[in-house]
Structure 1
Amino acid sequence: MKPLKHEAELFKGAMLAGVKYAEGRGVVEFEATDSASEKLLYIYRLLVHDKVIQPLPEEQVAEKTLRHKLAIWYSKQLPKDHPLLN
């Protein structure tokens, strides 16, 4: 797994987009007390369930790999000339 350039910033954007996606679907309302890890896992499972992203083998489901997977998902939604992609 090769780290993406600007992966941390892409992940932050992915979390915001993922929360918006999940709440927009009406399937969850995240609370301020929910941890980032809980949100990350929920968003990942929802995106897999909706067939938006390919699932990882269950033994590879860890916070580091999920952060990377969501960063990739988010990067594919950005315009080609976005600063985070350069």
Structure 2
Amino acid sequence: MKKNKNDAKLLKKALELGLAFAKKQGYSDLDRYVSSTDKVECVYRLLVQYKQITPLAVDQEDGVNMKHKLVLWISRLLPPDHELLQ
């Protein structure tokens, strides 16, 4: 896994957009009552369910790999000249 210096900021942005997507799909306010670790898993599973990202292999479903998938997802959504991708 290649680490970017802005991975933490990209993950924050991915969670922000993922939670907004969840809210539009009718899920309750996850950002108030759920820990950050659980938010990553919730957003990851929601994006897999809606076929926005490909699922990880069952034996690779852990926090680190889920975070990496979310960072990859948001990296593809942002324009190439976005400041977080530099």
What residue in structure 2 maps to residue 4 of structure 1? 4
**Over aligned residues, Cα RMSD in angstroms?**
1.2
- 2:59 aligned partner, one-letter code: E
Identity of aligned residues (%): 38
Unaligned runs of 5+ in 1: none
Q: How many residues align structurally?
A: 86
The TM-score normalised by the length of structure 1 is 0.91
| Regions of 4+ moved over 3 Å | none
> Which string of whole-angstrom CA distances, capped at 9 and with x for unpartnered residues, describes residues 36-55 of structure 1?
11111111111011111000
The TM-score normalised by the length of structure 2 is 0.91
What residue in structure 1 maps to residue 28 of structure 2? 28
- Bigger share in helix: 2
Unaligned runs of 5+ in 2: none
Matches within 5 A, 1:28-67: 28-30=28-30, 32-67=32-67
